[in-house]
Structure 1
Amino acid sequence: MKKVLSNISSPLSILLWSLKPFERKDKVFAQKVFELLCKMDSSYKSFLTEFSRLEVSLKKLVELAYLEAFEDISPLVGVEHLFLSLMSLVGRKDYERAKIFAFSQKRERGLKWKILFEIITDLTALEEVGLLSEVIIREKETNLLIQKLLQTQQGSLLLVGHRGVGKTSLMKGLAKKIAHWDVPKALLGVRIISVDVVALANAPFSMRGFLEDNLGAVIEQWMGPKRKAILFFDNLHLLPVGMPIGFSARGGRKFIRCIGATQDAENTRLVDNPLGALWETFNVGEPSLEDMRKIANIRARELEFLHNVSIDKAAVNEIFKQKLDKLSDISDALDLICAHKKFKDTPSKKDMDKNEERLLLKNNFRIALQKRDLDAMYVLDRKIKALERTIGEGGEARKVVIGGLDAKRFFKKGPLDILPFGRSVNSLERVLMKSIIGQKEAVLALASSVRRAVLKFKGENRPVGAFLFLGATGVGKTETAKVLAKALFGEGRNFIRLDMSDFRERHTVSRLVGAPPGYVGFEEGGQLTDFVAENPQSVVLFDEAEKAHPDVLNILLQIMEEGELVDAGGMKVSFKDALIILTGNIGSDLISKGSIGFHSEPAKNSSASYVSYALMKERILNETKKILKPEFINRFDGIIVFKLLEKADLYKICGILVNDFEKVLLEKGIALKVLPEAKRFLVDRSFSLEYGARPLRRFIEKELMDKIAGMVLKEEVKFGDVVRVSLQKSGTAFQLKMRVKRIRKII
């Protein structure tokens, strides 16, 4: 009993200190308790003697202290609980006074201890009772980690590796070996305590100091004074700056060790600082091929439970045939195949009819419930449950079987066929032709090249496709890239444009991949690598590539050949699911001189002579070879040449721009009608063979959009009005005429 008391309380002097609040409020009550406690010496003999005079057993006192701790939602029996149990034996009135004092701190203290115990998990204890998830123990890495832990001068370890490499599984494997006594004697009895970093970082700010200062103390009292522990902080980089260092430095006694885990990109933030000496880096690489197969089988069993499917071993084997080099890619592929298969598994007409019947029965059940008709409710409930069992909702759902053929079809279709909205490259020409005007030859060539790239007629590690768009300014090169991104990848953040005129100097290369450590902008990362890492399925446009520095072109050459790029932080960014497009104005000087043209066939009403589109493409390619290196040109899946736009093309583009403006006004309750003669006026006044469609866009903004915007601000056009735009003659010139018609009924 002495040992029990020594484990649950501090010296009796602390009990005397806890009387100070009573001295200010009730001196008589405090004096009475003080006299009682002063009779007790710090020795256990005197303590027991005093209680024997009060005819109270120590066992009863300890039991009452435990009850007080339980009511306080505290995992430990503290001094205040022993004090309250003592007061309950002194007298009911005195106990109530002490309880009132303790109640003000009870809720806050209980919440703190509750949060503290929710963020820690004993992995070793879970394995001892068979509740730790199944993992593959990587013997080589685990043995090396054990050797590091056995070093007497070893500080805290930091496991570094990219996402999904197996850092957490490595610690779980160590916990399994310790639980089964498959470790050296020095590690027997050690507990692996996992700390939930996300919960710790999201804890209320007022409790962070409490959690940081008491984490080691709680684990010490939880395990006992002679037990050893290793604190494991997964995703250590998610903690606020300073907290991980504080845990390492004040983690408790020497028998408590700290092991953190972080990704490659976040390693420098934790290590490259004055206190970084507290951590020693332990690199965790990809597992061997044999271990990858075992881990993939375990992951398949987990996904079977999560997706309620049945995964055949042939499906796992088919994934390994794709030669995926990362464990995270294999796991993601398994998850995608399951989701894709379930997406295709739509309910049959028979199931839909049964579902309609089920909804009707449930509606009748609600009516019976309102009428309190118990007999009808009983009958309807049995019918509903029986019907749900037949359609797989109330009982066990029908499992979808995923075999090797499903995985083969998944990879054979390529990455673009499994993207949002189920878009297919088969209709790519039709989608592009709706928005790209006057570039039929370029669209057909682009669609054919994209289709070849998607069908995997290329290196496994190369991007989905790499294309070079050539032509004069304003012919639709950038717009084609935007429409292509939307056609292939759907709506969303899947397009980035990099103006190569901003990368003329050598040092500007760092903007793409990030500045090296120690240089300005290191924390910001690279524009290109950060975007592709977050959006792997996207279109990357390098506009006016001929203006970039040669070092930038070397980076593009690496992307098109290797399909990956290493940023300044050492993280590899994959471009395997990205589409690379470069644009250039090479040959535009020849166009301005009028020596060549871009019409696919001679124009009937034009006095200028135009050569064929094929001849024009050949001349432009010859000019391109003089500027770009041959090894750079050979990396493209297709070189697309855009011809000059004719007036007929600009009429169609004008219609598209006006229709877009009409939609904007219609959302504000204003209808716009532009007559054909007004559109012809806009095109005739802005036509430029050299600059393409850009002058037309600017002229529409100036003559149409700006004027209507001014009318709206002056309240000359209001909600429900119709603006009719026509053409009128003013002297010898023509100008647009805008007439506002107000109608009662909004169209």
Structure 2
Amino acid sequence: MYNYFFWHYTDGTRKYLEIWRNYFEFFWRFFSVKMLLKTLFWPWKRDITRHGRGFDFQEFFQVAAFNAIARIMGAITKLTAIVFCLLLECLTIVLGAVFFAVWLFLPVVIFAFLLLGIKAVFALNFLDVIIMFVLAGSLYWLPGLFYSISQKKFPSELSLAEMMKEEWFDLVWIRAGIESEQGRGANLAKLPNLLKTNDIEEEEFNHIVNWVARQYEARERARRFWRRENLLAERGIGKDWIYGYSVHLDLVSKALHFSKKEEYQLIGRENEVEAIERVLSRAEENNALVVGDLGVGKKTIIKKFAELIYRGNVLPTLSYKRVLELDMGAVMAGSANTSEMEARLRLIMDEAVMAGNIILVIDNFHNYIGPQTGVGKIDVSGALTPYLASHHIQIIGITTYDGLHKKIETTPGLLKYFEKVEIKELEEDKTILILEDAASSMEGRTDVRVTYKALKEIISKSGQYFADIAMPERAIDLLDEALVYVATKTGDKMLEIKHVDLIISQKTEIPVGEVVMEEKEKLSRLEDILHRRLINQEEAVKDIASAMRRARLGVAEKKRPIGSFLFLGPTGVGKTETAKTLAEAYFGKEERMIRLDMSEYQNLYDINRLIGASEEEPGHLTTAVREDPFTLLLLDEIEKAHPNILNLFLQVLDEGWLTDFAGRKVSFRNVIIIATSNAGAELIREMVGQGLNLAVEKERLLDFLQSNNIFRPEFMNRFDGVVVFHPLTKDHLLKVAELMLRGLNKRLAEQKMAVVITAPLLKKVVELGYDPQYGARPMRRVIQDKIEDLISRKILDGSLQKGQSIEIKPEEI
């Protein structure tokens, strides 16, 4: 009781006076009294009439009368609001003073009733006891409620030991992936062992505590509606009364408001919002051009700026502005041609100018500036430019770097009206804060809780596998997809790392996450698997298997391609077959391969065929990788490409990305790159003929390639490995022929037929198909032209039917 009385006359009294002052300030701001007094005799909603040319007394009198009525109507409405506000202010003063007097004497009255109740106890007058204590309790209820609220500390005011005793701390254990019962039994002394048992770093745990505590405190502060920041955040009335109507504009636009569900996305963007505010507050060149990559949150930042205006937390020059997003599609939809569309746009812009408080947001601004082709694109720069210099309307254009350079910068005289505000991709430490708030918002929709480790996995893997979209959008999209999956496809109530990895595996069709036993065995005996389709080439198999293991187990550099190899060797020794085998082993099927014949890129201008020259002529390479970023890229006969094209691949091999003609980055970080070359084939044959070990003599071959200016050292050094393929001997060719015939039998198995593979048949295939210049490559043609044709003829004449095998004699082919 003593604590309460002490609080009542110290902090309690101070808080009462603060709340009293807050409501007094709230009513003044809510009714916009200062602004209404300043514009008391302005026309209502700027609704004025102007007379035409010449002088007509009747027209002059009608115009003057109409404008006078508009001013009188505006004054009456504003005076009504001002008077009502003053009445509320007076009521606040009177009631505030009365309640303050009651507040001062309330403890004395409560104490008196308690004493009377105690006295009645000794007098055994139980009815008086009940009455006195009920009266004391009733008087104590409201101040007692505020006392209990004021004694409840925010998380930022508590130590970790104190926070661990709070009910809301249960969510910390859930986010950490620790059983709640196990967490509740912990204290500071037991915490280190508990974290170690659950494989949680102390830094991670502190981050989880901050995540839960920050959101809990934000909710608690928002619930205390009497606080100044909560009261003054209300929009109020009267702010639009001095600005004009925008009937036509409202039909093709929408007000940008920043809903609480989206607020999580604005962490770490304060500087960008302030930059937009500064630009739009200027007297000249006060239009903003917001520039950034897809997914960085350009429109979200503008929404936050609009919300600040809505709440009145901006510079005075912007206090009464309306931020509207213009739907250019709706503007174009009602127009039959370009002239009609421009006329409609001018009508809308004139209306916005007359309104006087419009900030117009145009998304994909580049689609409406300069020469345009395609659906939904049109050049309106001619109609728009005259309004950019107006003081009565401001424009925020949203564009990409590509749109800025290709359209806006090339339009004469346009950029001088704008100030660029660049939006860069967020760093991971800020992205995870956004993701934490996003998780809390999405959990209510799916009834699935999100663990901190799952969030870290989302950020890490979204950057690794979906780099074409910027942060934070790619991480938020993956989080949303993972939560929906857990809620609809599993019975789990927690989003964990395994769920995130499963979603990514389904989207990319490649294994992601923890390696299961079956896959461990596959990775361990990868050399054996590759040798099922590759004959000889021990070095190639070893290097490839090593690179795949490093990539799958997360040991390899994640900012480079999965693996990159330069295959050197004569034609027909298995370089291309190795690439197909690798595509099947890593990506699931050999069709997931992009093959470029580099002999078609021998001229300098051929670089445009790779990276594109325009929207109508996109690049073969950049388009293919953008459409399938999880693939094997085979650069066949790389030595025949122009030297400048080889330089293009230096960045790809080193940094894992390439810029296309439009300045867009294309990620190669989930691509295996294999370049093949016949350069030095004669030297390889010579060394094999001399019985030299190619692995030992590799440096001699590389020196030959450099000294003859076939490849520069910096180009070859960018590859993870340079692999020399051995020419095939007759024994090797027999094994290759056997592999090819087994492939034929796989195709025949669909018809329940088979070829009996015999030694004489293999020798005949090698005899007919071996060519010293082309290696084993002609044997495939022999099998196709001789054996497959023979089988087709036997099926036609009925000598080979389903369920039968055929033994082909050498003389038959």
Distance 2:394 2:540 in 1: 64
Deviation at 1:670, TM superposition (A): 10
Please tell me whether the aligned partners of residues 457 and 497 of structure 2 are also in contact (alpha carbons under 8 angstroms).
no
Distance 1:235 1:716 in 2: 69
Say whether residues 1:182 and 2:313 are aligned partners: yes
* 2:527 alignment partner in structure 1: 429
Q: 1:649 to 1:290 in 2, by over 3 A?
A: closer
Distance 1:420 1:492 in 2: 24
Distance 2:473 2:454 in 1: 12
* 1:231 alignment partner in structure 2: 361
* 1:574 alignment partner in structure 2: 667
Q: Secondary structure at the match of 1:248?
A: helix
* 1:559 alignment partner in structure 2: 652
**Match for 1:470: what amino acid?**
L
Say whether residues 1:475 and 2:569 are aligned partners: no
Deviation at 1:273, TM superposition (A): 4.9
* 2:323 alignment partner in structure 1: 192
Distance 2:734 2:303 in 1: 67
Deviation at 1:503, TM superposition (A): 3.7
Say whether residues 1:271 and 2:408 are aligned partners: yes
Distance 1:123 1:446 in 2: 53
Distance 1:525 1:694 in 2: 33
Q: Secondary structure at the match of 1:267?
A: helix
Q: 1:6 to 1:500 in 2, by over 3 A?
A: closer
Deviation at 1:119, TM superposition (A): 6.8
**Match for 2:378: what amino acid?**
G
- Tell which deviates more after alignment, 498-507 or 327-336: 327-336
Q: Secondary structure at the match of 1:463?
A: coil
Give a deviation string over 1:603-627, Cα, whole Å, max 9, x none: xxxxxx8555645656545545645
* 2:377 alignment partner in structure 1: 241
Q: 1:247 to 1:289 in 2, by over 3 A?
A: farther
Please tell me whether the aligned partners of residues 425 and 451 of structure 1 are also in contact (alpha carbons under 8 angstroms).
yes
Structure 1: stretches of 5+ with no match in the other structure: 12-41, 48-114, 346-391, 516-520, 598-608, 737-747
* 1:446 alignment partner in structure 2: 544
Match 1:168 to one of 269, 288, 299? 299
Please tell me whether the aligned partners of residues 756 and 808 of structure 2 are also in contact (alpha carbons under 8 angstroms).
no
Please tell me whether the aligned partners of residues 361 and 398 of structure 2 are also in contact (alpha carbons under 8 angstroms).
no
Deviation at 1:197, TM superposition (A): 6.4
- Tell which deviates more after alignment, 542-551 or 675-684: 675-684
Distance 1:5 1:445 in 2: 76
Q: 1:523 to 1:323 in 2, by over 3 A?
A: closer
Distance 2:730 2:484 in 1: 50
Say whether residues 1:638 and 2:732 are aligned partners: no
Q: 1:213 to 1:675 in 2, by over 3 A?
A: farther
Deviation at 1:447, TM superposition (A): 0.3
Q: Root-mean-square deviation (CA), in Å?
A: 5.6
Give a deviation string over 1:384-406, Cα, whole Å, max 9, x none: xxxxxxxx889x96422437998
Deviation at 1:270, TM superposition (A): 2.8
Please tell me whether the aligned partners of residues 678 and 725 of structure 1 are also in contact (alpha carbons under 8 angstroms).
no
* 2:188 alignment partner in structure 1: none
Q: 1:404 to 1:544 in 2, by over 3 A?
A: closer
* 1:418 alignment partner in structure 2: 512
Distance 2:382 2:572 in 1: 59
Please tell me whether the aligned partners of residues 120 and 194 of structure 1 are also in contact (alpha carbons under 8 angstroms).
yes
Match 1:489 to one of 556, 562, 587? 587
TM-score for both structures, normalised by structure 1: 0.60
Q: 1:619 to 1:304 in 2, by over 3 A?
A: farther
Q: Secondary structure at the match of 2:571?
A: coil
Say whether residues 1:299 and 2:382 are aligned partners: no
Give a deviation string over 1:640-660, Cα, whole Å, max 9, x none: 222223445444544554565
Deviation at 1:474, TM superposition (A): 1.1
Match 1:402 to one of 496, 505, 514? 496
Match 2:448 to one of 279, 286, 309? 309
Distance 1:211 1:664 in 2: 61
Deviation at 1:486, TM superposition (A): 3.1
Say whether residues 1:283 and 2:422 are aligned partners: yes
Please tell me whether the aligned partners of residues 342 and 400 of structure 1 are also in contact (alpha carbons under 8 angstroms).
no
Please tell me whether the aligned partners of residues 122 and 193 of structure 1 are also in contact (alpha carbons under 8 angstroms).
yes
Task: Report % sequence identity.
Answer: 29
Please tell me whether the aligned partners of residues 674 and 726 of structure 1 are also in contact (alpha carbons under 8 angstroms).
yes
Distance 1:322 1:721 in 2: 50
Match 1:122 to one of 255, 272, 277? 255
Distance 1:420 1:490 in 2: 18
Mapping of residues 325-344 of structure 1, within 5 Å: 328-329=470-471, 332-333=474-475, 336=478
**Match for 2:408: what amino acid?**
V
TM-score for both structures, normalised by structure 2: 0.55
Distance 2:380 2:671 in 1: 37
Please tell me whether the aligned partners of residues 288 and 421 of structure 2 are also in contact (alpha carbons under 8 angstroms).
yes
Distance 1:683 1:160 in 2: 63
Distance 2:388 2:742 in 1: 70
Deviation at 1:204, TM superposition (A): 9.4
Please tell me whether the aligned partners of residues 548 and 586 of structure 2 are also in contact (alpha carbons under 8 angstroms).
no
Give a deviation string over 1:298-348, Cα, whole Å, max 9, x none: 3333554576532234554677789969893565356557867998x7xxx
Q: 1:536 to 1:425 in 2, by over 3 A?
A: farther
Mapping of residues 377-388 of structure 1, within 5 Å: none
Q: Secondary structure at the match of 1:570?
A: coil
**Match for 1:472: what amino acid?**
P
* 2:199 alignment partner in structure 1: none
Please tell me whether the aligned partners of residues 156 and 248 of structure 1 are also in contact (alpha carbons under 8 angstroms).
no
Deviation at 1:589, TM superposition (A): 0.7
Q: How many residues align?
A: 561
Q: 1:724 to 1:272 in 2, by over 3 A?
A: farther
Say whether residues 1:696 and 2:779 are aligned partners: yes
Please tell me whether the aligned partners of residues 340 and 418 of structure 1 are also in contact (alpha carbons under 8 angstroms).
no
Give a deviation string over 1:156-194, Cα, whole Å, max 9, x none: 644221122221112111111111112233323322223
* 1:109 alignment partner in structure 2: none
Q: Secondary structure at the match of 1:556?
A: helix
